[in-house]
Amino acid sequence: MSFPEIKKSPLTANEHNLNDYQNTCKDFNWQVAQHHLAGNDKQLNITYEAVDRHVDEGFGEQIAIRWLSKQSQQKDISYAELKDQTSRFANILERFAIKSSDTVFGLCNRVPQLYIALLGTLKFGAVFSPLFSAFGPEPIRSRMEIGQARVLITSEALYRKKVMPWRDQLSSLELVLLYNASDNLPENCYDIDALLSRSSADFPARLCPPEQLALVHFTSGTTGKPKGAMHVHQAVLYHSISGFYALDLKPGDRYWCTADPGWVTGTSYGIIAPLCNRVCMIIDEAEFDVEHWYQLLSEQKINVWYTAPTAIRMLMKAGEEVAKKYDLSALRFIASVGEPLNPEAVVWGQKAFGIPFHDNWWQSETGGIMIANFASTAVRPGSMGKPLPGIEVAIMQKQKDGSIKPATAANEIGELALKKGWPSMFRGYLNEELRYQKCFIGDWYLTGDLAMCDNDGYYWFVGRADDVIKSSGHLIGPFEVESVLMEDPAVAEVAVIGLPDEIAGEVVKAFVALKPGHQADQALAKKLLGHARKRLGPAVAPRQIVFRQNLPKTRSGKIMRRLLKARELGLPEGDISTLESDEA
């Protein structure tokens, strides 16, 4: 199904931040772009650029964060107050002798303490790694082990449920800071709010070499343990510029990013990019609810809204008539991220809000939006858009000798590749240099995604080159799910795939082969599902388990997930079987 371009915008083209795409791309260079920052190519600090700089420039009274609790209570934090609170947190790290090489993990819901801790950690010069609070104990533990966690910030409830049972087995973890803490704290834990209240608000942001490690974002692969993508302080240059160009952020905007802070979007565009562009961030603690979301958009007079296809599909299911009940006239730009946005959703945005959803594309490894539909240019429903200024993109064909060659014709499918050199590019996988090097051929980063480019330079997502599952915007590695199911003594083999779902995008389905002597029945399926939900959390655990006598394999014994998926979808199996060779 094809859709016409959508050009309607509440602003004229020259009122947008990127009002001349062609010439901006032509004239762009990173040396000039560096002048957007207060820091330079010798030393800078993410938190200074995002918070302290605005206070020094006279904007301290502007609201930085408007936090809405689950009980609909509102708390405003100005840039001056955020500067003070992040300095207090940095002084806590100083008090406990934390080093710049240490990693602080955040296992938090959308609460002010998370934003203070992340920005305070970066102000101090240490490393921060966010965790998804809905993870079960096993994914949390594996990431903290890989990252050699020194500090953990979490709620007392999450700590008692998901961390305390195994804390003593993680020797690197020395400091646990709890919010929503009781009077009866667990052993060796501290009340973060009490410490903040007693800490000094005097802590100048430590200027760091641009290549100093700042953030570690864990992303799942199809095999092996989760990968820790490493990002440096220099990334702030791209966070600032991409928020300006791709999201059209302007000082004073009311901006709402619905991404969970445990994922890279919730950090790059839920914290750093908007603050660098001096907006008022709306942080909503409550879970998704159609009426609540529309009420928030209306009452808070949101100008820019960045959300996910899963949420958009749920709003679509409720009908555009619901949207019409609310005053959404303040909205001027709406965008989507997390997985490809189907064309129908883009067009529905135009009907419901008077403006289309603008899809864009990026990864944890890229650190920022690489390809986008911009506010000032026509939207082609179903397209990822065009590369941002400073980003060079190509569709690459892999050759038999292992080299790559750019596609020579429009609409030719190949692997999406990015030319090295943008500031937010990941600098490695934590403790896995060889794995990192395999992502590159020459000067090109190979994304693992298949795409094509049309005659006008718009890029279109085709599919993934591996088996990573995207469910409700979350990346799920099959191996991680399979490993947990394999812990049951009845299980011999497991294969996990993602299947299309109208709401979540994809849902996890597991195929299980049992050891001799075990009965494949509903009782066992229920037991396995319960075990997976307990260990992995409901967002990662499979929705369905199917028992099979045998699972399809390659000649070398590798389970052919793609063949299982083809069978489930009723697709031809021949080409899949050919692709799944011993080298696959």
Q: What is the 3-state secondary structure (H, E, C) of 80-140?
A: HHHHHHHHHHHHHHHHCCCCCCCEEEEECCCCHHHHHHHHHHHHHCCEEEEECCCCCHHHH
Q: What is the mean pLDDT of the chain?
A: 91
- Residue 12 — very low, low, confident or very high, per pLDDT cuts 50/70/90? low
Q: For the chain, give the longest Cα–Cα distance.
A: 73
* 149-155 sheet: strands from edge to edge: 189-191, 175-179, 149-155, 103-107, 127-131, 213-219, 227-232, 428-429
Asked if residue 111 has pLDDT above 90, the reply is yes
Which CATH number applies to 39-57+74-236+246-278?
3.40.50.12780
Question: What is the predicted pLDDT for the residue at 41?
Answer: 81
Among 74-88, 180-194, 241-255, 549-563, the minimum mean pLDDT is found in 549-563
Estimate to the nearest angstrom the gap between the alpha carbon of 175 and the chain centroid. Answer: 26
pLDDT digits (tens, 9 = 90+) for 441-482: 999 999 998 899 999 999 998 777 766 787 887 767 777 788
Question: What is the predicted pLDDT for the residue at 225?
Answer: 79
Q: How close are the terminal C-alpha atoms of the chain, in Å?
A: 33
Question: What is the predicted pLDDT for the residue at 366?
Answer: 98
Asked if residue 576 has pLDDT above 50, the reply is no
pLDDT digits (tens, 9 = 90+) for 341-400: 888 889 899 999 999 999 999 999 999 999 999 999 999 998 999 999 999 999 999 898
- Do 126 and 93 form a contact (C-beta atoms < 8 A)? yes
Calpha distance 212→234 (Å, rounded): 8
Question: What is the predicted pLDDT for the residue at 562?
Answer: 78
Superfamily of domain 469-551: ANL, C-terminal domain (3.30.300.30)
Asked if residue 23 has pLDDT above 60, the reply is yes
Query: Which two three-digit tokens encode residue 221?
Result: 């692969």
- Residue 79 — very low, low, confident or very high, per pLDDT cuts 50/70/90? very high
What does DSSP assign to residue 515? P
Question: Mean pLDDT over residues 89-116, rounded?
Answer: 98
Look-up of token digits 């990026």 = 362
Asked if residue 37 has pLDDT above 70, the reply is yes
What does DSSP assign to residue 379? B
| Number of residues written out for the chain | 584
Question: What is the predicted pLDDT for the residue at 339?
Answer: 78
H or E, element range at 149: strand 149-155
pTM: 0.85
What does DSSP assign to residue 557? S
- Residue 502 — very low, low, confident or very high, per pLDDT cuts 50/70/90? confident
Question: What is the predicted pLDDT for the residue at 72?
Answer: 85
Query: Which two three-digit tokens encode residue 378?
Result: 């026509």
- Do 51 and 84 form a contact (C-beta atoms < 8 A)? no
- Give how far Cα 569 sits from Cα of 247, 498, 501, 562, 565, Å: 36, 11, 12, 10, 6
Question: What is the predicted pLDDT for the residue at 501?
Answer: 87
Calpha distance 59→53 (Å, rounded): 9
Calpha distance 300→363 (Å, rounded): 30
Q: Which residues contact 70 (CB under 8 A, 6 or more apart)?
A: 285, 286
The residues spanned by each domain of the chain are: 39-57+74-236+246-278, 469-551
- Residue 8 — very low, low, confident or very high, per pLDDT cuts 50/70/90? low
H or E, element range at 496: strand 491-501
Question: What is the predicted pLDDT for the residue at 3?
Answer: 65
Question: Mean pLDDT over residues 15-36, rounded?
Answer: 92
Q: Which residues contact 258 (CB under 8 A, 6 or more apart)?
A: 284, 305, 306, 307, 308, 311
Q: Which of 296, 300, 279 is nearest to 287 (CA)?
A: 296
Query: Which two three-digit tokens encode residue 200?
Result: 């000094």
| DSSP β-ladder status, 227-232 and 459-464 | unpaired
Question: Mean pLDDT over residues 496-511, rounded?
Answer: 90
Question: To 5 degrees, how large is the angle CA 188–CA 168–CA 223?
Answer: 130
Among 63-72, 310-319, 349-358, 552-561, the minimum mean pLDDT is found in 552-561
Look-up of token digits 């920005």 = 119
Calpha distance 413→463 (Å, rounded): 10
- Residue 578 — very low, low, confident or very high, per pLDDT cuts 50/70/90? very low
Q: Is 323 left (phi over 0), alpha (psi -120 to 50) or beta?
A: alpha
Calpha distance 302→355 (Å, rounded): 14
pLDDT digits (tens, 9 = 90+) for 238-258: 999 999 999 999 999 999 999
| DSSP β-ladder status, 505-514 and 544-547 | parallel
Q: Which residues contact 59 (CB under 8 A, 6 or more apart)?
A: 79, 251, 278
Among 174-188, 274-288, 337-351, 552-566, the minimum mean pLDDT is found in 552-566
Cα pseudo-dihedral 228, 234, 237, 239, rounded to 10 = 10
Question: Mean pLDDT over residues 109-125, rounded?
Answer: 98
